[in-house]
Chain A
Amino acid sequence: MTFPIAARALVVVSLLGVAIGARADDVSALLKAADKYRMSGDNMQIDTQISVFNTDGSADKERRYVVFAQAKHQSLVLMQSPAEKGQKVLMLGDDYWLLMPGSQRPLRITPMQKLLGDASTGDIATLSWADDYTGSVVGEEPCGEPVQPCLHLALQANRKGVTYQRIELWIGKARHEPVRADLYVQSDKLAKRARFVMDKPAAPTTVIEMLLGDQLTNKKETRVRYLGRKEHIVPEAWLNPMFLARNPALE
């Protein structure tokens, strides 16, 4: 009988669709839970320190940033290190601007130009996955140190402006805290491997460090340390590209 085969196939496809739909909802909820460990509110000011280490463990460079991560994919990054002091990057969705302190002239830049050395601006300023990625739960796997039961999520970007087009993410099964991630760029090359360090491993409440291992070029390790987080809604004018030439008052 040919008809029952087609009917069975239809039923299977329908059930699969329902299952995938349910999984998508699950994944969205899981990502929102994981996001809370890095960004506890929609509008935050996050003081970030980046330290880059050579393959032999010696210190390579250090940078500090103040990041105003706001709702609707809006971020303002103020460079604080002596070498970069006065530089600013504004990200509004998929649109980017850069201000160099000497010229006081905001420049429109491409997504490619926003990649900055060992830690891209995306690593610093993008702290949520739920809005930018969809995907599925691959399965349950052990991960982390000490080893714990984890959920393995396969994520695909749902907009083009994100730094990583694909992410393989492992989150704790019990509390859904991020544990590790493989980050893939547009060409589907593995660019970085990330590990997340929690404040209290036994009862985690927040990510205090993200360790990024470069897999593409120099194999260096970048430590992104979150020095401080607080709720901060910036005035609308601060997110106007032309406002970059003015000095926002830091608290």
Chain B
Amino acid sequence: MSVARVATLARVAVVAIAGGAAVAPCAAVDVNGYLRPAYIGMTAGERGPLADANRIAPGTVETTRSGPEIDSELRASGYGLSAVGWLQAQRQEGDRWRARGHFDELYASGSVADWQLSAGKKIVAWDVGYAFRPNDVVEQEPRRLLLETTPEGRTLVSAEHFDASTAWSFVFVNPTHAHSERFAAEPAFAARFYQRDGAVDWHGFARLGARTGASVGAAAAWVASESIELHASARYLQRADTLVLDANAVAAAPLGLVRVDPWTATTTHRIAQALVGGTWTNAEQMSLLGEAWWDGTALPGGAWDGWNARSRLLASLSGGPAPARAIAGNLAWQGSAFGASSSLRRANLFARLSWQHDKWQPAIDMLWTPADAGHVITASVGWQGDRVRVDGGLRTYGGPSSAVLAQLPTNRIVYVAGSWSF
């Protein structure tokens, strides 16, 4: 969404809310933010169809984007308006410095009777999980990022009601988008009910997408003891967006070499997503998080088996009569399957061990996909001063050659960042 479009939307929202709502009083505009120079170094994977594509015809697909970047974020709020602006200057290998920016949030808020109203671009994040959130049906925030980054909010209108222990939220997200938009960009109505019951938080969710239809979900977070928290979340979807290989097109093409990306948008029906997890924290501030989840929107095991078989078949054509560019292009299109869902495999296990020791925060985590023994391991350390924060870490992808995670275009990421808050 362009800045101009958001600004227009915000003006409309301000007028709408100011027309009938009491804007929260505020003595002054509150401004803060950060500036964060960073270097991201990526190493290309040597396994998988994208690596094969570049081996057969170098430069077919760009697999790594290393280079320095400077991120900045400015937050301001007051007089019923809130804004989070983001600017980034980035220079990736072989390219010049490029700048881009947008508002992560820009919205007006106020109240009518006991209802809290908001309109504009806003982050509305729901659900109880860490690495996977099936009921984050509005924001659909990317998970397990290397550096803590404010997600880009969605354009929405919301009404919320809070009392001592319950909350109701109603959201119309992406109201200006076309009905054909997919994934998080789809227009939808969403609702959440929250109930606090002593040591347990209960959540109920419902979403009605313009194209994907209805879904319902529930979640709970329970502080079981002084050091243990357990959480669970489940969602049932009428339909979900995904991708599928156009088998007919592939079968009809000579040697299976098609002329357009054979991975096409489709919709799957009657899908379930579920997550269970927990955290344990001791007095020394060492914390262990474990989560397991099933994501029915991810491609099924059979689809990945077919994907592996097609990748092997395409790679085997090298040196034969087929043009190298055609083989490489078809291998590169195999990468489209990585974008079918937020999870690559349906069954996932995740564990994270972290320690808060004075100003230092070391952590190590691992995502494991039991179906193919693929894994992602991330080790990181952060140092927090009064205004300066330094982060560094390493993420590696691995597993057997048939594991999806081992065939991603990037095999290793190292990063270092220093942020200055104001």
Binding site for B on A (CB under 8 A): 61-62, 81-83, 85-86, 92, 94-96, 100-105, 108-113, 115, 117, 160, 185-187, 218, 236-237, 239-243, 245-251
B82 near A247 with CB under 8 A, answer yes
Q: Which of B184-228 contact A (CB under 8 A)?
A: 194, 196, 198-199, 201, 221-223, 225-228
Q: Does B283 contact A (CB under 8 A)?
A: yes
Q: Does B46 contact A (CB under 8 A)?
A: no
**Stretch of B58-66, B163-171, B370-378, B403-411 at the chain-chain interface:** B163-171
CB-based nearest B residue for A243: B162
CB-based nearest B residue for A218: B358
A134 and B371 alpha carbons, distance in the complex (Å): 56
How far in angstroms is the closest Cβ of chain A from B140?
A: 12
**Stretch of B23-31, B174-182, B292-300 at the chain-chain interface:** B23-31
Contact of A83 among B194, B227, B421 (CB under 8 A): B421
Contact of A117 among B24, B25, B356 (CB under 8 A): B356
CB-based nearest A residue for B30: A250
Q: Does B385 contact A (CB under 8 A)?
A: yes
A83 near B226 with CB under 8 A, answer no
A110 near B281 with CB under 8 A, answer yes
Chain B residues with Cβ below 8 Å from A105 are 125-127
A240 and B196 alpha carbons, distance in the complex (Å): 9
How far in angstroms is the closest Cβ of chain A from B121?
A: 12
A243 and B194 alpha carbons, distance in the complex (Å): 11
Chain B residues with Cβ below 8 Å from A101 are 75, 150
How far in angstroms is the closest Cβ of chain A from B287?
A: 7
B223 near A108 with CB under 8 A, answer yes
A237 and B287 alpha carbons, distance in the complex (Å): 31
A44 and B32 alpha carbons, distance in the complex (Å): 26
How far in angstroms is the closest Cβ of chain A from B279?
A: 7
Pick the most buried of A92, A100, A110, A251: most chain B CB atoms within 10 A of its CB: A110
A95 near B226 with CB under 8 A, answer no
How far in angstroms is the closest Cβ of chain A from B64?
A: 26
B125 near A82 with CB under 8 A, answer no
Chain B residues with Cβ below 8 Å from A103 are 123, 125, 141, 151
Contact of B164 among A113, A115, A239, A245 (CB under 8 A): A239
Chain A residues with Cβ below 8 Å from B223 are 95-96, 108-111
A185 near B149 with CB under 8 A, answer no
A111 near B283 with CB under 8 A, answer no
How far in angstroms is the closest Cβ of chain B from A43?
A: 15
A185 and B285 alpha carbons, distance in the complex (Å): 14
A81 and B225 alpha carbons, distance in the complex (Å): 31
Q: Does B95 contact A (CB under 8 A)?
A: no
Chain A residues with Cβ below 8 Å from B422 are 82
If the complex has contacts A241-B201, A246-B109, A249-B25, are A108 and B128 also in contact, measured as CB distance less than 8 A?
yes
What are 28 A-B residue pairs whose CB atoms fall within 8 Å in the complex?
A83-B384, A85-B75, A102-B149, A103-B123, A103-B141, A103-B151, A105-B126, A105-B127, A110-B223, A110-B225, A110-B226, A110-B281, A112-B227, A112-B282, A112-B283, A117-B358, A186-B226, A186-B283, A187-B283, A218-B358, A240-B164, A240-B196, A242-B162, A246-B116, A247-B109, A249-B25, A250-B27, A250-B30
Chain B residues with Cβ below 8 Å from A186 are 226, 283
How far in angstroms is the closest Cβ of chain A from B188?
A: 18
A94 and B282 alpha carbons, distance in the complex (Å): 17
A62 near B386 with CB under 8 A, answer yes
A109 and B126 alpha carbons, distance in the complex (Å): 16
B194 near A242 with CB under 8 A, answer yes
Chain A residues with Cβ below 8 Å from B226 are 110-112, 160, 186
CB-based nearest A residue for B420: A82
Given contacts A92-B196, A96-B223, A104-B124, 8 further A-B contacts (CB under 8 A): A83-B385, A85-B32, A85-B75, A103-B123, A186-B283, A218-B358, A236-B163, A243-B162
A115 and B231 alpha carbons, distance in the complex (Å): 21
A100 and B151 alpha carbons, distance in the complex (Å): 12
How far in angstroms is the closest Cβ of chain A from B169?
A: 8
CB-based nearest B residue for A103: B125
Q: Does B365 contact A (CB under 8 A)?
A: no
How far in angstroms is the closest Cβ of chain B from A45?
A: 13
Pick the most buried of B123, B124, B222: most chain A CB atoms within 10 A of its CB: B123
CB-based nearest B residue for A102: B150
Chain B residues with Cβ below 8 Å from A248 are 24
How far in angstroms is the closest Cβ of chain A from B81?
A: 10
